[in-house]
Structure formats: structure tokens, C-alpha cells
Chains A and B, each alone.
Chain A
Amino acid sequence: AQSVTQLGSHVSVSEGALVLLRCNYSSSVPPYLFWYVQYPNQGLQLLLKYTTGATLVKGINGFEAEFKKSETSFHLTKPSAHMSDAAEYFCAVTGGGADGLTFGKGTHLIIQP
């Protein structure tokens, strides 16, 4: 079984500042980890994923995340926030089996001008 904890239901940063969204996971098997972004009344768009190999993964729109097995973490970062980054962000985990993706509760990212 898998679970995801996203620390902070709301995160507010200034435009141009570093974005850090935290995600910790639990998995009984080697995990596949994902970050998705959701804009109002839309589906989820994949930002990036970790399956195997390099632990630092780069995604779209300048986001990246690092898989740290020892810390069971997969935090999402972006060096410089843009107004268009304001959205809901979800971390998700799967073991690749029939249970699909298990999502965290999401973090609402607010960008201050």
C-alpha cells in the first residue's frame, strides 16, 4: 500500500522567489513518484515523474524534484516563481500495480506580485 503526505495546504511566495512544495511518501514496493498541476476546473497535467535512474528529475515549466529514498521525500522546486505558476499541485505515488496512483491532498500555490 502507498500513501502521500503533502506538507502545507497553502504555500505563498513572491514572484521571482524560490518555490518549494514538500511531499513525503510511504510505499511497500519501489515507488514511481509524480507531480501533477491542476488549474481550476481542469484535469491534471503531469509536471514530472521519477521511475528509476537519476534521482533529480526535471519537468516542464522549470520545475524539478529530487527523489530521496532515505528521507522518503520527493519535494518539488522551481528557482523563480511566475504568476502563471499559481495552481493546485499534487504529489502522487504508485507501485505500478492495480491500485493506480495514490494522491496527496494537494498544495495550493499562491504567487504574490
Chain B
Amino acid sequence: DTGVSQNPRHKITKRGQNVTFRCDPISEHNRLYWYRQTLGQGPEFLTYFQNEAQLEKSRLLSDRFSAERPKGSFSTLEIQRTEQGDSAMYLCASSFGQGSYGYTFGSGTRLTVV
């Protein structure tokens, strides 16, 4: 068990560019979550997968945001046409079942849009 891994740790991009982040969850965990955290705030739920099925995506911030988990293992979060307001920490978490065992978070990807 190597924990939840997120790459890259930091990403600086120019406004208007597309970015993609990767999350590798704990292998036994069937649920995977994406959150966004802005400065001074708690994490904000974005989307959720159970195995390869994306069961909740209505909280994605706009249609510029999309996520995939093609084989029920790793996941990617893509932001198209980035804006300065997208600058934040993007966190991935995984859990087994309904989360009674806890949710394990990765170290996050910090995005800076310039």
C-alpha cells in the first residue's frame, strides 16, 4: 500500500492552455474522488467514481472540467481553456465502500494559471 499518488505536484500554465492531472488510488479502493481547495478554504467536492463509473459529476465547476477513470484504476482530471480562477490545489482521495474505513488523500496538485 503506497497511498494515493498524484502527479504532477505542481503545474504552472498559461491562461487558455489545457492541463491534465493524474491520480493513482490505493489499489483495493473502489471509490475515487476529486476535490478542489482554494486558499483558506476547505476542500470542495468535484466528482466521484465507483470503479470506472462516474456516479456524480454535477458539481464539476464548469463544462471545462472533465474526469475519467477508464479501467477503474487511475483517474485523470482535465481542465480545458484554463482561467486564472482555476488556480488552486486539486486533491484526489480514494476509499473502500461507503467510506466507513476513511478516505485517503493524495498530496495534491497545485495549479497556477498565469
Contacts and interface: CB of A to CB of B under 8 A. Distances in A.
Interface stretch (A13-21, A66-74, A77-85, A93-101): A93-101
B48 A100 contact: yes
A106 B98 contact: no
Nearest to B104: A46
Nearest to B47: A100
A96 B98 contact: yes
B79 interface: no
Contact of A101 (B4, B40, B43, B106): B43
B42 A103 contact: yes
B33 A101 contact: yes
B103 A96 contact: no
A46 B102 contact: yes
A54 B70 CA distance: 39
A40 B52 CA distance: 32
Interface in A44-99: 44-46, 49, 51-52, 90, 92, 94, 96-99
Interface in A9-51: 32, 34, 36, 41-46, 49, 51
Given A34-B103, A41-B110, A98 B56 contact: yes
Given A44-B91, A101-B43, A94 B99 contact: yes
Contacts of B110: 41
Interface of A: 4, 32, 34, 36, 41-46, 49, 51-52, 90, 92, 94, 96-106
Interface of B: 4, 6, 33, 35, 40-45, 48, 55-56, 59, 91, 93, 98-100, 102-108, 110
Q: Which 6 pairs, one residue from A and one from B, show the smallest C-beta to C-beta distance?
A: A103-B42, A96-B98, A98-B56, A43-B105, A51-B100, A43-B107
27 contacts: A32-B98, A34-B103, A36-B105, A42-B107, A44-B43, A44-B91, A45-B105, A46-B103, A46-B104, A49-B102, A51-B100, A52-B100, A92-B42, A94-B98, A96-B98, A98-B48, A98-B55, A99-B45, A100-B56, A100-B93, A101-B93, A103-B42, A103-B43, A103-B44, A105-B40, A106-B40, A106-B42
